[in-house]
Chain A
C-alpha cells in the first residue's frame, strides 16, 4: 500500500523554521529521507516553495475566483509531501513519527487510492486511467 505523508505547519512554525539554521534543517531532513531510501520505502515526494508564491482558486463562486496567497484565515500551510510504501497504517505512522519536525507542525497520513479502490466497470474510471496515462506519457517524453 502507498501512503502520503502531508506536511502542514502553522504560521508560527513556518516563522520559527525561517529562523533555524538552514544547513541543520537540510541535514536533518536529508538524514530522514536517506533512512526512507535505505529502507526501500520512499516512492516519491516534493517540498513546496513559499506559500507567498502560490495562489488560490476558490470554488465558492462560479466561475471560481483566483486570489493571491492563502493568507488571513489559514491556520496551517501545506509545505510538502512524501509518498511511501508501507504494509499497514501502523507502519506508515512509525515512519511519520520519525520525521524531524517540531511544535506547530503536523504530518497528515493518508492512504493513496489505487485503481482497485474504484468500481472498475465505471466508464469514467476507465477513461480517467486513460487520461492519466496519456498526460503522464506526454510528461515522460518531454523529459
Chain B
C-alpha cells in the first residue's frame, strides 16, 4: 500500500500535489489502456478462455495501476505489466476456488518462474495479431445486440472508458456499463469460441465487424443534438479502429475501402457545418476547408483495396463516389456521369431505394432534371420511401428546376413537414419562400 500519509495531517499543498499525481496516473493509465487494451485482453482471453473474464481481469489490473503508478511511476513496458498483474489475479482466483488443476498449475509455475518478463513471450507479433483479430470478431459476434457490439468494440478493442462511450452515444454511463456486463454474460452463455469465423460464415461476420465500425463513425458524423466538439472524436476513433482492422486483414478489399470511405467523409468535417451548427450541404461547402492530406489517405486506401484485385464491394463503390466529390474543384467540375455509373453498380450490388434516390440526384446533375424525375417518380410509385423526407425534398427540387413551381411548392412543404431536423426544415422553408409566388389560375 502506498498510503503513507496519515489522513488529517496532510497539508493542503500536499493534498493538491497528491491529487495532481493521481490525475497524472489516471491519464497515463488511460493512455496505456487506449494503446494496449486489445493486446492485453486478447492475451488474457487466450490465457483464461473467456473474453468477459479477461476484460474483468484487465480492469482489476487497471485499478492496481492507478494505485501503484502515482508512487512508482509508469513501468517501462506498461502493457506487459498490466498483463502480468491480470494473470496473477487469474491464478489467485483459481487457487481460491481450489481449481488449480495441472494445466493452471503449470501456467502459475511459468509465470512465477519468469516473473513479469514472462509476458514478453505472449507478445509475439504473429500470435498477437491473430488474437486481436479474434477479439474483434468476438466483440462483433451476432449473438450480441448491435448496441452491445458497439460498446464492447469501443471498450475492448478501442480502449475507451465507459464514460467516454456514454458521452459519444449520449446515453448515461450506467447504461453503457450495463450493456457491457450483459454482453460479456451473453458471450459466456453462448460459449462463443475465441476464434476467427469459419470460411462458410466469414463473409457475414466480416460484414458485421465493418458495419459496427461504420455505425460508430456515423454516430460522430451525422448531425445530432450533442456537443459538436466531442462527437467528431467518435468518428476519429472509428477511423483509427478501421485502419487497425484493415491492417490486420490486408487482403480484404472492403476493410481497406471502408477506411477510404471514412477518410473521404471525415475530410469534409471542417466544412460541413456553419458556426451556428447549421449543416451545409455538399454543393455549398467551402471546398478549401476540406482536409487535403486526409483525402490523400483516402485515395491511398482505395488504391490498396483496388490493388487486391477482387473488385469493388459496397464500401468500395461508396468510397469511389466520395472520391469523385473529394477531387472535384466545384460542383460543376464533378464527374457526375461517373457518379451515376457508380450508383448504378451500387444499386445492383446492394439494391436500396435510398441509393436510387441518390442516383437520381446524380442523374439530375449529369443529364438534367427530367430524366432524374422519372427515377424519383418510380420510387414514389413503389412506395418504399413513404414518409422519408429526402424523397419529396429531391422531387420538389427537380420540379423547381423544371419550372413546375406549384408542384414543387407542395413537395417541399411535404418534406418540411416530414423532416425531424429543425435546421433542415428551416432550409426547406427558405427554399419555398424563394419560389415564385403561387400562380394565379389563368382566367378562362
Which positions in A face B, CB cutoff 8 Å? Answer: 37-41, 43-44, 85, 87-88, 90-91, 93-95, 114-116, 120, 129-130, 132-134, 136-137, 140
B31/A37 in contact, CB under 8 A: no
Choose among B28, B233, B289, B329 the residue that contacts A137 (Cβ–Cβ < 8 A): B329
A85/B292 in contact, CB under 8 A: no
Which residues on A sit within 8 Å (CB–CB) of B30?
88, 90-91
B35/A40 in contact, CB under 8 A: no
Main secondary structure of the interface of B (DSSP, over half): helix
Which residues on B sit within 8 Å (CB–CB) of A90?
27-28, 30-31
B236/A85 in contact, CB under 8 A: yes
Complex Cα gap A41–B242 (Å) = 11
Which residues on B sit within 8 Å (CB–CB) of A120?
275
B247/A129 in contact, CB under 8 A: no
Which residues on B sit within 8 Å (CB–CB) of A91?
30-31, 34-35
B27/A88 in contact, CB under 8 A: yes
For the complex, is B327 an interface residue (Cβ under 8 Å from A)? Answer: yes
Choose among B240, B248, B270, B327 the residue that contacts A140 (Cβ–Cβ < 8 A): B327
Report the minimum CB–CB distance from B70 to chain A (whole Å). Answer: 14
Complex Cα gap A130–B292 (Å) = 11
B293/A38 in contact, CB under 8 A: no
B288/A93 in contact, CB under 8 A: no
B288/A129 in contact, CB under 8 A: yes
Report the minimum CB–CB distance from B379 to chain A (whole Å). Answer: 36
Q: Pick the most buried of B239, B247, B295: most chain A CB atoms within 10 A of its CB.
A: B247
Which positions in B face A, CB cutoff 8 Å? Answer: 27-28, 30-32, 34-35, 78, 129, 233, 236-237, 239-244, 247-248, 270, 275, 286-290, 292-293, 295-297, 327, 329
Report the minimum CB–CB distance from A31 to chain B (whole Å). Answer: 8
- Nearest neighbor of A44 in chain B, beta-carbon distance: B293
Which residues on B sit within 8 Å (CB–CB) of A129?
286, 288-289
A133/B288 in contact, CB under 8 A: yes
B244/A40 in contact, CB under 8 A: yes
Which residues on B sit within 8 Å (CB–CB) of A136?
292-293
A40/B242 in contact, CB under 8 A: yes
Which residues on B sit within 8 Å (CB–CB) of A132?
288, 292
Which residues on B sit within 8 Å (CB–CB) of A116?
270
Which residues on A sit within 8 Å (CB–CB) of B243?
37, 40-41
Complex Cα gap A45–B40 (Å) = 28
Choose among A38, A133, A140 the residue that contacts B129 (Cβ–Cβ < 8 A): A38
B289/A115 in contact, CB under 8 A: yes
B31/A40 in contact, CB under 8 A: no
Which residues on A sit within 8 Å (CB–CB) of B248?
38
Decide yes or no: A43 and B297 within 8 Å by CB, A38-B248, A88-B30, A120-B275 being known contacts: yes
Which residues on B sit within 8 Å (CB–CB) of A94?
28, 31-32, 35, 78
Complex Cα gap A140–B296 (Å) = 8
- Nearest neighbor of A83 in chain B, beta-carbon distance: B293
Complex Cα gap A120–B236 (Å) = 22
Q: List 8 A-B contacts (CB under 8 A).
A: A39-B240, A88-B31, A90-B28, A90-B30, A91-B34, A132-B288, A137-B292, A137-B329
Which residues on A sit within 8 Å (CB–CB) of B327?
140
Complex Cα gap A35–B35 (Å) = 10
Report the minimum CB–CB distance from A36 to chain B (whole Å). Answer: 10
Report the minimum CB–CB distance from B332 to chain A (whole Å). Answer: 16
Complex Cα gap A115–B271 (Å) = 10
Decide yes or no: A39 and B244 within 8 Å by CB, A130-B288, A132-B292, A133-B290 being known contacts: yes
B292/A140 in contact, CB under 8 A: yes
Complex Cα gap A32–B292 (Å) = 26
Report the minimum CB–CB distance from B135 to chain A (whole Å). Answer: 14
Complex Cα gap A95–B32 (Å) = 9
Report the minimum CB–CB distance from B117 to chain A (whole Å). Answer: 18
For the complex of A and B, 10 pairs with smallest distance between CB atoms: A40-B243, A90-B31, A40-B244, A40-B240, A136-B292, A133-B288, A91-B31, A130-B288, A90-B27, A38-B247
